[in-house]
Amino acid sequence: MKKRIAIWLPLLLPLLLLPLLTTHGLKAQDKGELSPIKKTDVSPDEAGILWRTDLAAARKDALKQGKPILYYYRCEP
Amino acid sequence: MDCKSLADQLVEPPQEFVDITRDYVCIKVTDMRDHDLNNMRFDFGLTFFMILAHPAGRIYHRYGGRDQGDPLSWLSISSLKRALEKTLQEHKAYVAEGGKGRPDRLLPRKTIMDIPTFAKAWRRKKNKPVCIQCHMVHSAMRDQLAAENKLRKDMIFMYPPPRKIGLTMNPIDQDLVHEVQKDSIAWKAGLRKGDQLTLIGKTRILTIADIQWALQQPPRRRTSLRIGFVRNGKASSGALILDKNWQVGTPEEVAWRPWKWGLSPKPGFGGVAIDAEEKARHGIAAGDFAFRITYLVTWGPDAYTGKNAARAGLRKGDIVVSVGGKRDFRSVAGFHSWYRLTQKPGTKIEVQIRRNKKLIPLQLSVLK
């Protein structure tokens, strides 16, 4: 019996935990905790402008470099 | 005016523009979830806006904005490039003088999630949008004011364009006065064509968005705003004398603002304007406005307004030719704005429609 459990448990454990993980994910999203936008993105566009989305890090870099910030708000209603 | 919108041009901007952005740290904000509404405030009714700031928070200038006309007329690579160049000079001079970059007045950080009615609705929402857009911030502010019984209809006349004080600015060199309407507020303050506007209230002026920001600041009562300007190389000053309701204008002026959708009374129907050919088919004069009803509001908390319209006899497909005897709307949005800003609940209004080549007058109750 113990031997059977030892074989099957590692296989079944992920399946047993899956619903729990999914529920947690949904709950977190429901609270607005999960953002679909990657906060660490640094995306150079084709023209070569670095449009950053990591606000806090970008501000730190601007302070270090002594540069002003250009905030670009682009919302599509 | 460039044919492509500025947002399109920014996808493949000219090299000279790319070069000037290298002197900035560029941040693109497409989700307003974490945006500090108190300290990074702008006209959230817009879909395109830029703020030029010191990294410590001091805002140098704003760029963007529009009025009732062409939404793109103030936006161009040339004007943006100039704003970036001038702001860079200002930043360097400010830092050289020992400026630390902190805003003159730092307010407590506030995000959209700190707006109670929005936060509550958001928690309950099952299908949440991928990101929070600028106009949703505006709607949230409006709905919170409504919940607190503080919403006034005249609030829609916000971020007054320069035209409200009689000014037309150069669309590229946006601090240069292109024209001043005689006897207007700006005229009486001493401004004339060719002047370079440098200050309104406490706001240093470089762009039209700066002017709109400065004109938004004074309380809505009779007041005055100090202005500074340069004429023939010589600095001068004056004062804009503002009456209590100087910002308030016609419904058409603010028809473009999404803010209007939350105002009541609501007609309960809407649609699309018809073209000259269709007008001719229905015997409608080419100069008159008409629109085809494409929906009655049958969903959500406003479904009662659609039911009211249906009770009055309105149907999808009807051509609306006049409302309350008015047939000179410039757009369907203009009709919606007019209805919400002028009609009084408890009254009835005649809606004339064309259906099967017949002109039918219907009586619509104006609901709260």
Within an 8 Å CB–CB cutoff, is residue B93 touching chain A? no
Token representation of residue B158: 């916000």
| pLDDT score for A13 | 53
In a 13 Å sphere around the CA of B179, the CA atoms on its Cβ side amount to 7
Could you give the residue ranges of the DSSP H alpha helices within chain B? Answer: 6-9, 15-21, 77-96, 116-124, 134-147, 185-188, 208-216, 276-281, 303-312, 332-342
Q: What is the ipTM of this complex?
A: 0.90
pLDDT at B367: 95
Strand partners, B365: B348
Q: Which residue has the higher pLDDT, B171 or A21?
A: B171
Q: Do B113 and A32 touch (CB under 8 A)?
A: yes
Point out the least confidently predicted range of A12-26, A59-73, B221-235, B243-257: A12-26
The answer to whether the bond into A77 is cis (omega within 30° of 0) is no
How would you list the strands of the sheet with B203-204, edge to edge? Answer: B203-204, B196-200, B223-231, B234-242
Residue B355 predicted with pLDDT over 80: yes
A12 has a pLDDT exceeding 60: no
The rounded Cα B244 to chain-centroid distance in angstroms is 20
A-B C-beta contacts closer than 8 Å: 134
pLDDT > 50? residue B266: yes
Half-sphere exposure of B319 (CA within 13 A, CB side): 21
Long-range Cβ contact pairs of B179-187 (< 8 A, separation 24 or more): B185/B240, B185/B241, B185/B242, B185/B246, B186/B162, B186/B240
More confident residue, A13 or B93: B93
Cβ atoms within 10 Å, residue B181: 13
Stretch A64-75: mean pLDDT: 92
Closest-CA residue of chain A to B9: A47
Of B56-60, B102-106, B215-219, B311-315, which range is least confident? Answer: B102-106
Separation between Cα atoms, residue B334 and residue B314, nearest integer Å: 19
Q: How far apart are CA B174 and CA B172, in angstroms?
A: 5
Q: A26: which chain B residues are within 8 Å (Cβ-Cβ)?
A: none
Taking residues B40-63, report their average pLDDT.
94
pLDDT of A76 > 90? The answer is: no
Residue with more model confidence, A34 or B245: B245
Q: How many residues does chain B have?
A: 368
Confidence class for position A46, pLDDT limits 50, 70, 90: low
Check: CB of residue B236 under 8 Å from CB of residue B249: no
Backbone conformation region of residue B302, classed left if phi is above 0, alpha if psi is from -120 to 50, else beta? alpha
pLDDT at A57 over 70: yes
Distance CA B295, CA B13 (A): 40
Strand partners, B231: B234
pLDDT band of residue B4 (cuts 50, 70, 90) is low
Residue B105: predicted pLDDT: 86
Confidence of residue B42 (pLDDT cuts 50, 70, 90): very high
The predicted model gives B134-154 an average pLDDT of 93
Cβ contact B40:A71 at 8 Å? yes
Average pLDDT over residues B236-246: 96
- Show the domains of chain B with their CATH numbers: 1-153 (no CATH), 162-242 (2.30.42.10), 264-365 (2.30.42.10)
Distance CA B72, CA B135 (A): 17
pLDDT band for B315, please (50, 70, 90 cuts): very high
Exposed/middle/buried for B263, CB within 10 Å: 0-12, 13-18, 19+? buried
Residue ranges per domain, chain A?
A: 1-34, 36-77
Is the confidence at residue B155, as pLDDT, over 70?
Answer: yes
Q: Which residues contact B182 (CB under 8 A, 6 or more apart)?
A: none
From the candidates B21, B23, B26, which should be mutated to test the interface with A, based on the most A CB atoms within 10 A?
A: B26
- The contacts of residue A14 (CB under 8 Å, 6+ apart) are none
Residue B368's pLDDT is what?
Answer: 87
Looking at the predicted structure, is the pLDDT value of residue B3 above 50?
no
Q: Which residues of chain B make contact with A53, given a CB cutoff of 8 A?
A: 27-30
Q: What is the mean pLDDT of chain B?
A: 93
Output the pLDDT for position A2. 65
Nearest CA in chain B to A30: B123
C-alpha–C-alpha distance, residues B21 and B41, integer Å? 22
Closest Cα to residue B109, out of B35, B29, B213, B28?
Answer: B35
Beta strands in chain B (DSSP E): 25-29, 48-53, 59-64, 167-169, 177-180, 196-200, 203-204, 223-231, 234-242, 269-273, 291-296, 319-323, 348-355, 358-365
pLDDT cut 90: percent of chain B above it: 80
For chain A, list residues whose CB is within 8 angstroms of any CB belonging to chain B. 29-32, 35-37, 43, 45-53, 55, 58-63, 65-77
Are B72 and B1 in contact, with CB atoms under 8 Å apart? yes
Mean pLDDT of A47-72: 90
Q: What is the pLDDT of residue B128?
A: 86
Mean pLDDT score, B280-301: 92
Residues B368, B297: Cα–Cα separation, whole Å: 15
Whether the predicted pLDDT of B187 surpasses 50 = yes
pLDDT > 90? residue B178? yes
> What is the mean pLDDT of the segment spanning B202-229?
96
Structure tokens at B78: 């040339």
**B53/A32 touch (CB, cutoff 8 Å), yes or no:** no
**Lowest mean pLDDT segment, chosen from B100-104, B159-163, B334-338:** B100-104
- The answer to whether residue A29 scores a pLDDT higher than 70 is no
Flag whether pLDDT at B320 surpasses 80.
yes
Using DSSP's 3-state secondary structure scheme, residue B364 falls into: strand
pLDDT exceeds 70 at position B211: yes
